[in-house]
Every structure is written in C-alpha cells, then in structure tokens.
Structure 1
Amino acid sequence: MDNINWGIIGCGDVTEKKSGPAFNKVSGSKLAAVMRRDAEKAADYASRHGVSNWYNQAEDLLNDSEVNAIYIATPPSSHLEYALQALAKGFPVYVEKPVTLNAAQAQQMADAVKQHNGKLVVAHYRRRLPMFLKVKELLQQQVIGEVRTVQMRLWQSRKPALVTKNAPNWRVQPEISGGGYFHDLAPHQLDLMLYFFGEPAFYQGFALNQAQATTADDHVCGQILFKNQVVFNGSWCFDVAENQNTDSCDIIGTKGKISFSVFGNTITVQNEASEQTLNFTHPENIQHPMITSIVGYLRGEEANPCSIEEAVTLMQIMDAFTQPVKL
C-alpha cells in the first residue's frame, strides 16, 4: 500500500487530539472518512477536521471506495464486531485499547487476523513515545544493572483526572469497558512492562469493589514473574483521597533505580555513580509516532509495532488480575 486512506469508526473524544489529526501528518497517510452513530456529531467532526466523508453507519464507511485502512476508536464492547467486519473485507486495522473486553475476545480477533491473512495493530502507542524508548534504552544499557523488581502504583480519587471528562462515563460500566478505570488505564502500563521485559512466565491477582459506587471493581492487585526472572508488583486503587493520587513505576536493579510516571513526562535515574532527571515533551498528537510506525508497517517498511498476539497476552494478564475475591 503506497497511500493509506483511513476511515475512523467511532470519532469520539480520543480522536479529537490524541489520534485523529495525526493521520494527516504522516507522509502517505490521510484521514478520508469518519463514522459515528450520532449523524450530527459525525458531520461536525468531519467539518472541523476537514474530512471529506462522514457516516452514521459502520457498514457505509466500510463500503467507501476511498478508504483502505480502518481505525476502531469506539468503546471496547464493539471492538471485536467492527474488527471482524473490517478484516473480512480485507482492511488492515488499528484498534484502540483495551483491544477487547477480555482475553477470549482478543483470541477471536487474533484468529480472524490469521484466517484473513490480515494486518492488525493495537493502540499501545506509548511504545513509540521518546520517553519510553529512552527507558528501554537505559534498561538495555544496564544503567541500573540487572533488573530485580518493578513496583507500580496507580492510586486515584473516585473521578480520576487522567480520564476524559467530556464523554459519558462508560468506563465504569463493565459491559462496555470490560471493567472499571483499571481497564481504561492499566493497558498502557502493563503493555510497557511486556515491551520492556518480554514474555511472562506466571501471573496472578485479584480485584474487589470496595466503595460500591459503581458496578465496576475499584481496587486491583497483581503480580507477574517474567521469564527473565524480573518480578512485577502492581496496585491500582480508584477511591483514595485526592491528595493521595499516585502514578509511579519504580524499576529497581542491582545498581540503581529508574522511576517514572506512565502518564507523566519525567524519568529519574539513580545509580552508584549519579542521579539525573530527564524531562520530555510529548507530541501534540500523542499517537503520532505510533501512527507513523503503523504506516511504515502497512507499507512493508517495518515490523508490527504492537501485534494482536501481544495484546492477547496482555488481556490474559488483565483477566487474571481481575479475578473476584470471596470474603
């Protein structure tokens, strides 16, 4: 494929700045059409973003002769349905995270990719941000020696500032999101762990709904033992005082520590020789680097930046972390 003409299924908040405009900023790529079930909002999005065609039915967008690649940015409950339709029609697909509601659905998607000999990329876009490429480089250089343990905490108040405020709060409706805020935010964090440390050998966890404010669990704990013997411990709680909001990841090695916030822009590196802080400015459209890689992948110029098989593993971990507890 020389020119990638994208159609977006679900042009909601995530596409306004994080992703949508970036499709027109990559050479050989453009945003050709958008779809949203609310026709008025679809037309408004197309007008504001200079998109030629808009639809309120996914089938109509999939039949647009100009479109040759699909970006699925709806809530997770419809990711599988739309991905299966697009793959069956021969489209390469870019899917938002979490890729599906659970691991079983993710495996269905992976099977469809294989069945149709298709191409599919999952939107774990932090893999391509300079900040996290730097963390990976520091680990490869063994700046902190051999990694022994990773300690991650994401503690937020009942209405996390990290979550988009303009849309209806489907994120705490498990039938739509897969769970609660954990399912919205943790995929970014856990995918980075897979990106940094490779295949897991073992994982376990549990979840509970302490506050009973919604039907979704608000407290999740999990452990991973990677095949390289790195041990990961994670804690997610979405009902703490605002002055206790925490977003931290500490990677601790035999010679020091790398610390950062997955939703921040600073890395602190401590080792036996020095301590330094590295500051980063994320791109205006944070998915821009990932979309650049996807276009390269679709043209056959580079490998898949995040495959469905990797996302299946991630969803298996998330399923294990969110096992209910009987008290």
Structure 2
Amino acid sequence: METINWGIIGCGNVTEKKSGPAFNKVPNSRLVAVMRRDAGKAADYAQRHGVSKWYSDADELMNDPEINAVYIATPPAQHLPYALSALKKGLHVYVEKPVTLNAAEAKQIADAIAQSNAKLTVCHYRRQLPLFLKIRELIETGAIGDIRIIQIRLWQSRKPGLVANSETNWRINPELSGGGYFHDLAPHQLDIMLYYFGKPLKYSGFSLNQADMSAADDNVNGQILFSNNIPVSGSWSFNVFEHEQTDLCEIIGSTGKISFAFFGNYIKLNNELIEVTHPEHIQQPMIEQVVRYFRGERAVNPAPIEEAVTLMQIMDAFTSK
C-alpha cells in the first residue's frame, strides 16, 4: 500500500505542534509540502519543520504529483472550496473543524465525496484521545448506571485562553468562521456527544450577542435529545467575568456521575480522580487512524462527513436567527 504523502493547506498556528509534526511521526505517512498565502511564512514554516517544499498557492500544492492527501487547516470559509477541489483531483482530505460555515456547505462536501474516489475525514480528533476513549468505556460498561442527564458549560471571558492566538482574530468574524468562539470550540464538545450517543432525535436552541463586541454572538444555549431518553443541555458564554470561567461536562447517571473538562486532562468518576496524559501532538492518534483509513487498513471512517453534517445542523439550530 502507498505511503500517504501530505500537503498542508494553511500552515498556521494550529499546525505548529498540535498536528503538523505528527504527519511525519505515524507509520506510512510523510509531510511533503506546506502552503500559506504569505510566501515568506510558508517558507519559514517549511524551513523550521524540515519540509522539503512550500507553496503560496493551494492549487499548485494540490497539483504536486508527489502529494496524494491534503490537510486543510485554513479558517472555515476556505474549507468548502479547497475540499471540493481536492476531491475532484482525487486527493484524500483531512479537514479542520468546523468542517464548513454551515450545514448546507457540509452537505455539498458529502455530495462531492459520493462522486469521488477519494476519502475525507473531519478533524474531530478528540474521538481518538485516551481521555475521551476512557469516558466512552465508563459509559458503555455502566459505571454510572443509566444516563439521566448531561450538562455542558463552557463560560469564558471575551479573550478565551482556550483559543489560539491569531493576527486577525478571524474566529469572531462570522464570514470567515461561521460564527464566533462557539463555532471554534463547541464542535469538539458536540461531536463527542454524537460519538458517544449516535444520531440525535431532536435539538433546538438560541444565541445572543450580549456584549456587542463583534458581529458574532457570544452567548449560545441548546438542547439535544438522543435515543434512550438521553438529554444534553449546553450553555456557552464568551463574555463572563474572568474569575467565573468554566469548562465542565457532567454526565449524571442512576448510580453515579462522570465529570470532566473538554479542554483539560482529568476525569472524575464520583469521588475518584483519573488523570490522563495527552500526547505531545494532540492530533497524532487521530492522524494515525486517518492514515490507516486512507490506506485501506481501517474500514470505518474515524470521523465521517455524514456525522459532521449532523453536527453542523445542530450548530445551525443553536445559532440561526
């Protein structure tokens, strides 16, 4: 089977440690080229990371005959056109979250995959992290009995420490990100709910722009009902007093409770604290599975577009006016 030879489209901050180096550290995978519209920054990234080729044009990278897969790590507004172009060229695609600006765009990608011989996986990498696999195990083995209710709270200040720094702060420009910090952070949380509990039966919500600091809403609330009568309620705020910042998920069952932070490294099972060490490159476990899927060694897509469409439908329902 062939080696997966990667090209990164958008070698910004997220690729410095979380993902970029991992492409050379998993079996049968090699980072061949990187692209950024700023040629100087693309060349600098390539030099620092030992990448042999760099481009300032995405089409040139995708036309490189050595490349057979691309990692799209641009702001979400560019995900759809780059993904469609790559699939049309027969390139496998690993695309950052949120997969697109909205569900309609995600459906376009799903339709394109059906017409392509290439494969696509969405970058919902928490599905492969030991912490979230352990939580799934606790749920499936009945460690807390039957699940009664799940509550998600992510309350952050106007400049969340959870968000990577960027020169333009594109994350609060809905034309580039789809919304605000909710669109940047909530996909990690909501996708894990889909991963644990499957397709939802129904969902609804609303969003507000309380602080009016940008065009993006800064307060989102939503509810999801899964099968087996499992209800999830979520609250996201990005304008709270810094001392009230919270990252907490509580899964309450008939005989106990699991608590954890989506952006932390611990699980609390009732009164037992379980600490979990994340890998140096947090996307590496997912990238390993993506490579295996692209090579045909793994039959099941680790994060398929169909589930990302559902995720975007939920996010649209929570934030649409």
Q: Report the aligned-residue RMSD.
A: 0.7
CA distance in 2, matches of 1:216, 1:69: 33
Cα deviation code 1:33-85 (max 9, x no counterpart): 00000000000000000001100001100111111111000000000000000
Aligned residue identity for 1:228: N
The match for 1:220 is 220
Give 1:168 deviation, angstroms. 2.0
- How far residue 117 of structure 1 moved from its aligned partner, in angstroms, is 3.4
Is 1:277 aligned to residue 257 of structure 2? no
The aligned amino acid for 1:229 is N
- Mapped partners of 2:197, 2:59: distance in 1: 40
1:170 equivalent to 2:170? Answer yes
Q: Given that residues 13 and 167 in structure 1 are in contact (C-alpha distance below 8 angstroms), is that contact kept between their aligned partners in structure 2?
A: no
Choose from 295, 298, 302 the match for 2:294: 298
* CA shift digits 1:284-322 (9 cap, x unpaired): 100000000001111111121000001000000000011
In 1: Cα distance, 2:61 partner to 2:117 partner: 22
SS in 2 for 1:64: coil
Consecutive unaligned residues of structure 2, counting only runs of 5 or more, are: none
Structure 1 segments unaligned to the other structure (5+ residues): none
Verify: 1:307 aligned to 2:304, yes or no.
yes
Q: Does 1:267 align with 2:267?
A: yes
Most deviating of 1-10 and 282-291: 1-10
- AA partner of residue 55 (structure 2): Y
> How far is 1:228 from its partner?
2.3
The 1-side partners of 2:88 and 2:228 are apart by 38
Hey, what does 1:247 align to over in structure 2?
Answer: 247
- The aligned counterpart of 2:90 is 90
> What is the SS of the residue equivalent to 1:225?
strand
Q: Deviations over 1:175-204 (max 9, x none)?
A: 000000000000000000001111100000
1:166 Cα offset (Å): 3.9
Give the ranges of 4+ consecutive aligned residues of structure 1 lying more than 2 Å apart after TM superposition. Answer: none
| Aligned counterpart, 2:68 | 68
Partner Cα distance (2:297, 2:252) in 1: 35
- Structure 1 residues 39-188: aligned runs within 5 Å: 39-188=39-188
Q: Which residue of 1 aligns with 2:236?
A: 236
Structure 1 residue 244: deviation in Å? 0.2
One-letter identity of the residue aligned with 1:57: D
Quick one: which amino acid aligns to residue 247 of structure 2? Answer: D
Secondary structure, counterpart of 1:134 in structure 2: helix
> Which residue does the alignment assign to 2:284?
288
CA distance in 1, matches of 2:111, 2:264: 35
> Does structure 1 retain, via aligned residues, the 8 Å contact 2:19–2:284?
yes
Q: Secondary structure at the match of 2:65?
A: coil
Inter-partner Cα distance in structure 2 for 1:78 and 1:7: 16
Equivalent pair of 1:221/1:236 in contact (CA under 8 Å):
yes
Letter in structure 2 aligned against 1:156:
Q
Name 1:9's counterpart in structure 2. Answer: 9
Q: Percent identity?
A: 65
The Cα offsets for residues 116-162 of structure 1, whole Å up to 9 and x where unpaired, read as 13310000000000000000000010000011110000000000000
Q: In structure 2, what is the Cα distance between the partners aligned to 1:86 and 1:112?
A: 10
Residues 197 and 228 of structure 1 are in contact (CA less than 8 Å); yes or no, is this contact kept in structure 2?
A: no
